[in-house]
Chains A and B, each alone.
Chain A
Amino acid sequence: MVEVSEIQPLPRRRRRYTFLFLVAIFISSLPFLFLYATGYRLNLDGEGPFVSTGGIYISVDRTGAEIYIDDELVRETRTFRTAFYAQGLEPGVHRVHVQKLDHHTWVKELPVYAYLVTEALAFNLPEVPTVRIISPWRTNTGETVVSANPVIQATTTSEFIVSTRVPPSFVADTEYATLLQLFATSTSTSAQVTPIERVASGITSFLDDTATTTATTTKIANGVQLFESEGDVYAKWIDSREQMPYYYCAEEFELTTSQTPDEEVEESYEAGFIGPVQYVPTDVVCEPVIKLDRGDEEVSSFDFFPGSTDLVLLARSSGVYAVEIDDRAWQNVQPLMLGAGLDMRVENGNVYLYDGVLIYQVLIDN
C-alpha cells in the first residue's frame, strides 16, 4: 500500500525550517565574507581575531617568467596567466622579483598598505636581443651586405654577407633609405658623409660615431608626456587623475587611521557595517612628474617602449635602455642593446637602432 506521505509535497514545516536554516547561514556568513573581501584575515597568533592585510598585483610582460614575493615562488606565468594577485600580505615593504632564463631580472621593493593593493608591472628584456640588420645594400638574391661583421651584442635573424666593396651587382635597399629618414635629424651634426658613402668607402668601424643631437622632442601617448629638460627625461601624467597609473604620486596614498586593526574591526562592527576604512585622497596635491633614470649618461633620443606607456626607451651614450617610469623604491633599467653611439627610433611599433652605418630592427616578442 502506498503511503499518502509519498504523494504529498514537502511538508511546510520542513520547508520553513530549511528556509530558516539558510537564512541563518546567510546572516552569519555575510560579516565574515565582508571582512575577508575587505582584506581581513584570521589572526591565529594572539592579539585579536583578525588582522588587516593588503595585496600586491604583479603583471608580467611575458610568459615563462617566475614571480617571487619575498623570495618565495608564487607564479610561473603562462598564456592568459601573466599576472598574479597576492592577497593577505602584512602591511610593510615586500620584495618582488620576476625572472626568466636568459632575460634580465626585474626587482622591486613595494610598500603594502592595509586594505589596498599595490600594483606593479614587471618587464624582462632578453639579455641578448635579436635584431634584423638593414644595410644600404643587398645582393640580387636579397642577402644583406655589410662592410664588416657587426660587433653588436645581439643575435640576428638576417642572412648577410660581408663585403668591403660595392660591386655593380649590389642593389640599394629601399627599406634602408626609407628608415634612414627617421634618423635624419640626429645625424645631421655628426656625419658629413652619407652612410652609403661610408660603406662604399670601406669604413669598417661604426662604433666611433656619436650622435650628438640633443633630444628635444616631446612624446605623448595615452595621457603620458615624455619630455626633456636640462638633460634629463621626464614622464608626466597629463590626463585625468582618475585614469592616472598607480605609481604617480604613489607615496601620498596613506591611511588616515592610527587605530590598530582590531580597533578598526570593533568600530566597524559597532557601526553595523564593514565599510572602506582606508582613505585614498582624491584631491592629491602632487605634480605627477617622474624623472627617468639615465645613469648619468647623455640621452640622444627617447620614446615609449612599443605597446606601453609604462616603459620608456632611452638612447644613452652606452646603449639603448628600457626604463620603467614607476619610481617606487627604484626604477628598473634594462639594456635593450648595448653599443656606444646608437641612436634609436620607434616607428609603427618597431624599434630601430642606428649606429651611423647600419640600421637594426630590434625584434621584441614575449
Chain B
Amino acid sequence: MSHDQQLLEYAKRSDFKVGRAPELTGRDRKLYRFFEVLPGVASWTTLIGVVILSVYAPFFAAYFIIAFAVYWVLKTAFLSYHLRHNWKRLRNHLRMDWGQMIERFEYGHLYHVVILPFHKEPADVIDATVTALSQSKYDLKNIIVVLATEERAGKEAQEFAAQMKEKWGSIFSSFLITTHPKDIVGEMPGKGSNATWAAEQVRKEILDVHGIRYNHTLVSIFDIDTAIYPDYFNCLVWHFMTASRPLKSSFQPVPIFNNNMWEASTLSRVVAMSSTFWEMVQQERPERMATFSSHSVSFQALYEIGYWQTNMVSEDSRIYWNLMIANNGEYDVIPLSYPVSMDANVAPTFFGTLKNIYRQHRRWTYGVENFVYIGYHFTKNKNISLKRRIVILLQQAEGYWSLVTNPIMLFILGWAPIFFGGRVFHETVLSYNLPIVVRNLLVFAMFGLVISSFISLTLIPPRPEGRSRIRYVVMAFQWLLVPVTMVAFSALPGLDAQTRLMLGKYMGFWVTPKHRKK
C-alpha cells in the first residue's frame, strides 16, 4: 500500500509488519532473532532438563513431577469450569432471538463484508458456506460477499468463482470476485496476503464506489469451510453495538469443527473438538484471547493498519496483535459465544488424515511467531503500560511453553526418574509410588474428559441417515484418546514449529485440504 496516510502512527513504522528476523537489520534483527529462539530453547531446556534432573537428582525430579501432576489436575478443573460455563452460554446464545435483541438499535447503516479466501477447495465446501450465508436471518442486502481467489490456483478456480457469482450474485448486496496476483514481491502465498488484496479491492470497488463508510462496515474473514448459524450477524451486531469501543474491537465466534463430524475419523474428531473446547475456554477469559480462524472486525480498524500481514503464516491471530499494538493496547477481543461450523480434518485415507492433522496443527502452533512479534514490539511501544506488556508476554509465553511441554512431561517424561534415576532411587518407596501417584492424579484429571465427552455430544450435528447409533457411544468414549492426541497432535507439532523457528527454518503457509466424503 503506497497510500499510508490513514495508518495509525505506530502502524507507519517500517518494522510494524515484520514477519521474521531477516527482514530487520542491526540490533532490531538480533532482538527479533532472540525472541525467535526463546520458545524453542525454553521448551527443549525443559524437556531435556527433566531427563537430566531424573539422572542426577531423581528425588527432586520425582517431587517436581508429582507437583506438576497436581498442577495439571487443578488446571484441568479450572479449564473445565470455564468450558462448562461457556457451553451453557453458547447454548443460551443459540436459543436467543438476536433479531429481536437488536431491534432497539439503529443498525440499518451497517454493512457486512464477508471475505472467503479461496484456493482450490472443492465446490461443495464453498457452496455449503455460501448457502449458510444465504440462510442468515440478517438482511442479505447488507451483506457483501467476497470470494477471494488466487491467481496461482489457475483458470479452473476462476471459472468456478464465476459460476458461484452467477448462482449467488443476486441474493446478496454484492458478490465480488477478487484475484490475488501471484508473485507479489515480499509476500508469502497464503490467506493473509489473499485477504489483504481482497479487502483493498472491496474498498476500492464497492465501499468507495457506493459511499459506504468504513466505520459502518464490519468485515468477517471466514475460512472457506465456515458455515455460519442463522443469527450470526444479529449476534455480531448486538455485540458491536454494545461494545465499549466497537471500532477498536474484534469479535470472535466459537469455531466448532463439526461440518463433517460424522465423516471424520475418531482421532480427527477428538483433535477438532479439543480445538473447539480450547476456544470455548478462551471465550471466558477474553483478556487472554487473540483472534483465531474465522472472526469479525470493523473495516475501519483494518484500514488503519493496512489490513493483514502478507509475510507470515498465522495471520488470523497476528491481525489482533497488529491492531492491539498499533492502538497502543487500546484494543479488545470480544467473545461472541456464538458458533460457526467448520470442517474437521478429513482426507481420503486414514494416514492422510493423520498427516493433515499434524500439518494443520503445526501451522496453528507456528502461531508462536506471534509471541516473537509481541515481544519485539513490546520493547518498542512504550505507550502500552509496562504491567500489561509483562502480563501479556508471560501469558503468551506460558501458553506456548505449556502447549509443548506439558503433555510430554505428563505422559512420557513423568516416568523418567524411574528409568534414569539409578539404583539408589529405584529402591525407594518414592520410586515405586511415583507412577502410582501420577497415574491416580491423571485418572482424577480424566474426570474433566467426562465433561468434555458430554459437551461434545451436544455439539455434533444430527445423525445422518445410514449412520449407526453406536457412533454416539464411540463419540462418547473417543476422549480416552486425549493423552495420545495431546502428545501427537499438540505437543509434537508445537515442538516441531518452535524448533523450526528457533533454527531459522521458517515455515510457509500450508493450506489444509478440505475434503468431504460423498
Contacts and interface: CB of A to CB of B under 8 A. Distances in A.
B284 A241 contact: no
Contact of B96 (A2, A15, A116, A282): A2
Interface in B74-125: 74, 77-78, 81-82, 85-86, 89, 92-93, 96, 101
A87 interface: yes
Contacts of B285: 9-10, 15
Interface stretch (B255-263, B300-308, B429-437): B429-437
B59 A26 contact: no
B437 A37 contact: yes
B70 A30 contact: yes
Contacts of B81: 18
Given A15-B285, A22-B74, A34 B427 contact: no
B234 interface: no
Given A2-B101, A15-B284, A55-B432, A253 B427 contact: yes
A22 B77 contact: yes
Contact of B437 (A12, A33, A53, A276): A33
A314 interface: no
Contacts of B78: 18-19, 22
B429 A55 contact: yes
A352 to B, nearest CB: 36
B467 interface: no
A330 interface: no
Interface string A233-275: 0000000011110100000010000000000000000000111
A87 B427 contact: no
A116 B74 contact: no
A36 interface: yes
A45 interface: no
Contacts of B335: 9
Given A6-B92, A19-B78, A117 B429 contact: yes
A29 B286 CA distance: 30
A30 B428 contact: no
Interface string A21-35: 010011001100110
B424 A37 contact: no
Contacts of A22: 74, 77-78
Given A2-B96, A242-B423, A37 B337 contact: no
Interface stretch (B60-68, B363-371, B393-401, B479-487): B60-68
A37 B434 contact: yes
B71 interface: yes
A117 B431 CA distance: 9
A273 B424 CA distance: 19
Given A10-B85, A115-B429, A246-B427, A36 B284 contact: no
Contacts of B85: 9-10
Contacts of A276: 59, 425, 428, 430
B283 interface: yes
B154 interface: no
B287 to A, nearest CB: 8
Contacts of A275: 59-60
A180 to B, nearest CB: 44
B92 A54 contact: no
Contacts of B425: 276
B422 interface: yes
A77 interface: no
A116 B427 contact: yes
Q: From B74, B86, B337, name the one whose CB has the most chain A CB atoms within 10 angstroms.
A: B74
A26 B71 contact: yes
A192 B283 CA distance: 93
Contacts of B424: 280, 282
A278 B59 CA distance: 11
A115 B430 contact: yes
Interface string A1-23: 01000110110100100110010
B74 A7 contact: no
Contacts of A7: 89, 93, 337
Contacts of B70: 26, 29-30, 33
A116 B63 CA distance: 16
Given A6-B89, A7-B93, A9-B283, A37 B430 contact: yes
Contact of B432 (A2, A117, A273): A117
A39 B433 CA distance: 8
Nearest to B282: A9
A117 B428 contact: yes
Contact of B430 (A19, A39, A246): A39
Nearest to A25: B74
Contacts of A54: 429
Contacts of B71: 26
Nearest to A284: B423
Nearest to B423: A242
A30 B96 contact: no
A90 to B, nearest CB: 13
Contacts of B77: 22
A38 interface: yes
Nearest to B422: A242
A350 B59 CA distance: 42
B63 A34 contact: yes
Interface in A196-220: none
A282 B60 CA distance: 18
Given A9-B283, A18-B78, A26-B71, A37 B89 contact: no
Nearest to A40: B429
A69 to B, nearest CB: 15
B431 to A, nearest CB: 7
A115 B428 contact: yes
A7 B286 CA distance: 13
Nearest to A6: B92
Contacts of B286: 9
Interface string A107-120: 00000000111010
A133 to B, nearest CB: 44
Interface string A94-124: 0000000000000000000001110100000
Contacts of B427: 116-117, 119, 246, 253, 280
A243 B428 CA distance: 15
A290 to B, nearest CB: 18
A339 to B, nearest CB: 40
Contacts of B86: 9
A179 B85 CA distance: 75
Contacts of B422: 242
Contact of B284 (A6, A9, A53, A119): A9
Interface of B: 59-60, 62-63, 66-67, 70-71, 74, 77-78, 81-82, 85-86, 89, 92-93, 96, 101, 283-287, 335, 337, 422-425, 427-434, 436-437
21 contacts: A15-B82, A18-B78, A22-B74, A34-B66, A37-B62, A37-B66, A53-B429, A116-B427, A116-B428, A116-B429, A117-B428, A117-B431, A242-B423, A243-B423, A253-B427, A273-B63, A275-B60, A280-B423, A280-B424, A280-B427, A282-B423
Given A9-B335, A117-B427, A280-B427, 7 more contacts: A9-B286, A10-B85, A30-B67, A37-B63, A37-B429, A38-B428, A53-B429
What are the nearest 9 A-B pairs in CB distance? A39-B429, A37-B433, A276-B59, A22-B74, A10-B284, A280-B424, A9-B284, A117-B432, A242-B423
